[in-house]
Protein backbone atom coordinates (compact mmCIF):
# COMPACT_ATOMS: atom_id res chain seq x y z
CA UNK A 1 0.00 0.00 0.00
CA UNK A 2 1.35 3.44 -0.87
CA UNK A 3 1.61 6.12 1.84
CA UNK A 4 -1.54 8.11 2.57
CA UNK A 5 -1.50 11.88 2.92
CA UNK A 6 -4.28 14.23 3.98
CA UNK A 7 -5.50 17.29 2.09
CA UNK A 8 -8.33 19.81 2.37
CA UNK A 9 -11.73 18.48 1.36
CA UNK A 10 -12.30 21.92 -0.13
CA UNK A 11 -9.18 24.05 -0.35
CA UNK A 12 -9.61 27.70 0.69
CA UNK A 13 -7.34 28.74 -2.21
CA UNK A 14 -9.90 27.36 -4.69
CA UNK A 15 -7.46 24.97 -6.31
CA UNK A 16 -4.53 27.33 -6.82
CA UNK A 17 -2.17 24.82 -5.22
CA UNK A 18 -1.15 26.96 -2.23
CA UNK A 19 -2.28 24.40 0.35
CA UNK A 20 0.65 22.54 1.82
CA UNK A 21 -0.36 19.13 0.47
CA UNK A 22 0.85 20.52 -2.89
CA UNK A 23 4.46 20.27 -1.70
CA UNK A 24 4.06 16.66 -0.72
CA UNK A 25 2.21 15.72 -3.90
CA UNK A 26 4.97 17.40 -5.94
CA UNK A 27 7.65 15.50 -4.02
CA UNK A 28 5.93 12.16 -4.68
CA UNK A 29 5.67 13.04 -8.37
CA UNK A 30 9.36 14.04 -8.59
CA UNK A 31 10.47 10.69 -7.17
CA UNK A 32 7.86 8.74 -9.13
CA UNK A 33 6.09 7.18 -6.15
CA UNK A 34 2.34 6.61 -5.84
CA UNK A 35 0.39 8.00 -2.90
CA UNK A 36 -3.15 7.93 -1.60
CA UNK A 37 -5.04 11.00 -0.42
CA UNK A 38 -7.62 11.20 2.33
CA UNK A 39 -9.63 14.40 2.28
CA UNK A 40 -10.53 16.09 5.56
CA UNK A 41 -13.03 18.85 6.31
CA UNK A 42 -12.14 21.89 8.42
CA UNK A 43 -14.28 20.48 11.21
CA UNK A 44 -12.62 17.06 11.08
CA UNK A 45 -9.12 18.61 11.17
CA UNK A 46 -9.77 19.92 14.66
CA UNK A 47 -11.17 16.63 16.01
CA UNK A 48 -9.14 14.22 18.17
CA UNK A 49 -8.85 11.59 15.41
CA UNK A 50 -7.00 14.01 13.13
CA UNK A 51 -5.11 15.68 15.97
CA UNK A 52 -3.69 12.27 16.81
CA UNK A 53 -1.94 12.50 13.43
CA UNK A 54 -1.28 16.25 13.50
CA UNK A 55 -1.03 17.99 16.89
CA UNK A 56 -1.78 21.38 15.29
CA UNK A 57 -4.89 20.17 13.47
CA UNK A 58 -3.64 20.94 9.98
CA UNK A 59 -2.89 19.21 6.70
CA UNK A 60 -0.89 17.50 5.31
CA UNK A 61 -0.16 14.39 7.31
CA UNK A 62 1.70 11.32 6.09
CA UNK A 63 0.98 7.72 7.07
CA UNK A 64 3.08 4.80 5.91
CA UNK A 65 2.72 1.57 7.88
CA UNK A 66 3.42 2.45 11.51
CA UNK A 67 5.00 5.84 10.73
CA UNK A 68 2.91 8.99 10.98
CA UNK A 69 4.42 12.39 10.17
CA UNK A 70 3.20 15.97 9.97
CA UNK A 71 4.76 19.22 8.67
CA UNK A 72 5.18 19.49 4.93
CA UNK A 73 8.92 20.14 5.31
CA UNK A 74 9.44 16.97 7.32
CA UNK A 75 7.31 14.90 4.94
CA UNK A 76 9.13 16.17 1.85
CA UNK A 77 12.49 15.51 3.52
CA UNK A 78 11.36 12.00 4.46
CA UNK A 79 10.28 11.27 0.88
CA UNK A 80 13.56 12.73 -0.39
CA UNK A 81 15.54 10.49 1.95
CA UNK A 82 13.61 7.38 0.90
CA UNK A 83 13.77 7.84 -2.88
CA UNK A 84 16.16 9.26 -5.47
CA UNK A 85 15.41 12.52 -7.18
CA UNK A 86 15.17 15.25 -4.59
CA UNK A 87 18.54 15.28 -2.80
CA UNK A 88 22.04 15.17 -4.30
CA UNK A 89 24.22 12.12 -3.62
CA UNK A 90 27.20 14.26 -2.59
CA UNK A 91 27.03 14.73 1.20
CA UNK A 92 27.86 18.45 1.17
CA UNK A 93 25.42 19.22 -1.65
CA UNK A 94 22.78 17.20 0.20
CA UNK A 95 23.29 19.27 3.38
CA UNK A 96 23.05 22.49 1.36
CA UNK A 97 19.82 21.36 -0.32
CA UNK A 98 18.35 20.72 3.14
CA UNK A 99 19.54 24.17 4.23
CA UNK A 100 17.50 25.65 1.38
CA UNK A 101 14.44 23.73 2.58
CA UNK A 102 14.82 25.35 6.00
CA UNK A 103 15.52 28.74 4.40
CA UNK A 104 12.31 28.51 2.39
CA UNK A 105 10.22 27.63 5.45
CA UNK A 106 11.94 29.64 8.16
CA UNK A 107 13.30 32.76 6.45
CA UNK A 108 11.31 33.31 3.26
CA UNK A 109 7.84 31.96 4.05
CA UNK A 110 7.01 33.84 7.29
CA UNK A 111 7.05 37.38 5.81
CA UNK A 112 5.18 36.10 2.74
CA UNK A 113 2.48 34.50 4.89
CA UNK A 114 2.22 37.68 6.99
CA UNK A 115 1.76 39.77 3.86
CA UNK A 116 -0.73 37.52 2.11
CA UNK A 117 -2.66 36.94 5.34
CA UNK A 118 -2.87 40.69 6.00
CA UNK A 119 -4.10 41.16 2.42
CA UNK A 120 -6.88 38.72 3.24
CA UNK A 121 -7.92 39.56 6.79
CA UNK A 122 -6.70 43.12 7.54
CA UNK A 123 -7.91 44.79 4.36
CA UNK A 124 -10.75 46.55 6.20
CA UNK A 125 -8.81 47.52 9.30
CA UNK A 126 -7.94 51.14 10.02
CA UNK A 127 -4.21 50.43 9.93
CA UNK A 128 -4.08 48.42 6.69
CA UNK A 129 -2.84 51.22 4.42
CA UNK A 130 -0.20 52.26 6.92
CA UNK A 131 1.02 48.76 7.70
CA UNK A 132 0.99 47.23 4.20
CA UNK A 133 4.19 48.95 2.95
CA UNK A 134 6.26 47.55 5.82
CA UNK A 135 4.93 44.04 5.14
CA UNK A 136 5.77 44.41 1.46
CA UNK A 137 9.21 45.74 2.32
CA UNK A 138 10.00 42.70 4.47
CA UNK A 139 9.17 40.47 1.50
CA UNK A 140 11.13 42.66 -0.92
CA UNK A 141 14.23 42.32 1.24
CA UNK A 142 14.09 38.53 0.90
CA UNK A 143 13.30 38.66 -2.82
CA UNK A 144 16.21 41.05 -3.35
CA UNK A 145 18.55 38.69 -1.51
CA UNK A 146 17.38 35.73 -3.55
CA UNK A 147 17.67 37.78 -6.70
CA UNK A 148 21.29 38.58 -5.89
CA UNK A 149 22.12 34.86 -6.11
CA UNK A 150 22.36 35.19 -9.88
CA UNK A 151 21.06 33.55 -12.97
CA UNK A 152 21.41 29.84 -12.26
CA UNK A 153 18.34 27.72 -12.92
CA UNK A 154 18.19 26.35 -9.37
CA UNK A 155 19.42 27.40 -5.93
CA UNK A 156 22.43 25.08 -5.71
CA UNK A 157 23.19 23.23 -8.93
CA UNK A 158 20.58 20.60 -9.76
CA UNK A 159 16.88 20.89 -8.83
CA UNK A 160 16.38 19.64 -5.27
CA UNK A 161 13.89 19.50 -2.41
CA UNK A 162 15.22 22.97 -1.53
CA UNK A 163 13.92 24.34 -4.84
CA UNK A 164 10.66 22.47 -4.42
CA UNK A 165 10.04 24.16 -1.08
CA UNK A 166 11.25 27.57 -2.25
CA UNK A 167 9.06 27.56 -5.37
CA UNK A 168 5.95 26.61 -3.39
CA UNK A 169 6.71 29.38 -0.89
CA UNK A 170 7.37 32.04 -3.55
CA UNK A 171 4.34 31.24 -5.68
CA UNK A 172 2.14 32.35 -2.78
CA UNK A 173 3.11 35.82 -4.04
CA UNK A 174 1.46 35.22 -7.42
CA UNK A 175 -1.43 37.55 -6.64
CA UNK A 176 0.59 40.19 -4.72
CA UNK A 177 2.25 41.78 -7.75
CA UNK A 178 5.63 41.63 -5.99
CA UNK A 179 7.09 38.92 -8.22
CA UNK A 180 6.72 41.31 -11.18
CA UNK A 181 9.42 43.47 -9.57
CA UNK A 182 11.89 40.56 -9.68
CA UNK A 183 11.71 39.01 -13.16
CA UNK A 184 14.49 36.53 -12.39
CA UNK A 185 12.56 35.20 -9.40
CA UNK A 186 9.33 35.10 -11.37
CA UNK A 187 11.24 33.07 -13.99
CA UNK A 188 12.56 30.74 -11.27
CA UNK A 189 9.03 30.13 -9.98
CA UNK A 190 7.79 29.54 -13.53
CA UNK A 191 10.67 27.09 -14.08
CA UNK A 192 9.42 25.09 -11.11
CA UNK A 193 5.81 25.30 -12.22
CA UNK A 194 6.58 23.90 -15.67
CA UNK A 195 8.20 20.72 -14.37
CA UNK A 196 6.04 17.75 -15.34
CA UNK A 197 5.96 16.55 -11.73
CA UNK A 198 4.66 19.95 -10.60
CA UNK A 199 1.96 19.87 -13.27
CA UNK A 200 0.79 16.41 -12.25
CA UNK A 201 0.65 17.42 -8.59
CA UNK A 202 -1.12 20.67 -9.43
CA UNK A 203 -3.70 18.92 -11.58
CA UNK A 204 -4.35 16.34 -8.84
CA UNK A 205 -5.11 18.98 -6.18
CA UNK A 206 -7.16 21.03 -8.68
CA UNK A 207 -9.25 17.96 -9.49
CA UNK A 208 -10.11 17.65 -5.78
CA UNK A 209 -11.25 21.26 -5.66
CA UNK A 210 -13.26 20.98 -8.86
CA UNK A 211 -14.99 17.82 -7.70
CA UNK A 212 -15.93 19.49 -4.39
CA UNK A 213 -17.16 22.59 -6.24
CA UNK A 214 -19.41 20.46 -8.47
CA UNK A 215 -20.93 18.45 -5.64
- State the angle between helix axes of 72-82 and 21-31 in degrees (0 to 180), rounded to the nearest 10: 10
Q: How far is the CB of 149 from a copy of itself (least distance, A)?
A: 6
- Based on the shown chain and the rule CB under 8 A, indicate whether residue 127 belongs to the binding site for a copy of itself: yes
Q: What is the footprint of a copy of itself within residues 42-61 (CB under 8 A)?
A: 51, 55-58
> 67: which strand partners?
64
- Based on the shown chain and the rule CB under 8 A, indicate whether residue 77 belongs to the binding site for a copy of itself: yes
- Based on the shown chain and the rule CB under 8 A, indicate whether residue 5 belongs to the binding site for a copy of itself: no
Cβ-based nearer residue to a copy of itself, 34 or 56:
56
Binding-site residue total for a copy of itself (CB under 8 A)?
Answer: 43
- Other C-beta atoms closer than 10 Å to the C-beta of 150 total 7
Q: Which of 2, 12, 47, 113 binds a copy of itself (CB under 8 A)?
A: 113
Helix (H) or strand (E) holding 1: none
Rounded Cα distance between 50 and 53, Å, is 5
Rounded Cα distance between 65 and 74, Å, is 17
Any residues with CB less than 8 A from the CB of 94 and at least 6 apart, and which? 87, 88
Judged by the rule CB under 8 A, the positions of this chain that interact with a copy of itself are: 51, 55-58, 66-75, 77-78, 91-92, 95-96, 98-99, 101-103, 105-107, 109-110, 113-114, 125-127, 130-131, 142, 145-146, 148-149
Amino acid sequence: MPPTITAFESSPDRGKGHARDMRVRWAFEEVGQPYDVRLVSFAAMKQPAHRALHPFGQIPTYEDGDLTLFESGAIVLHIAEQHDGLLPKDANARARAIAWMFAALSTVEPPIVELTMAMLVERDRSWYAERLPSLQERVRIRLGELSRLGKADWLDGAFSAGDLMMVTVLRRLNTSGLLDEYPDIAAYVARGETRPAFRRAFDAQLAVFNAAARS
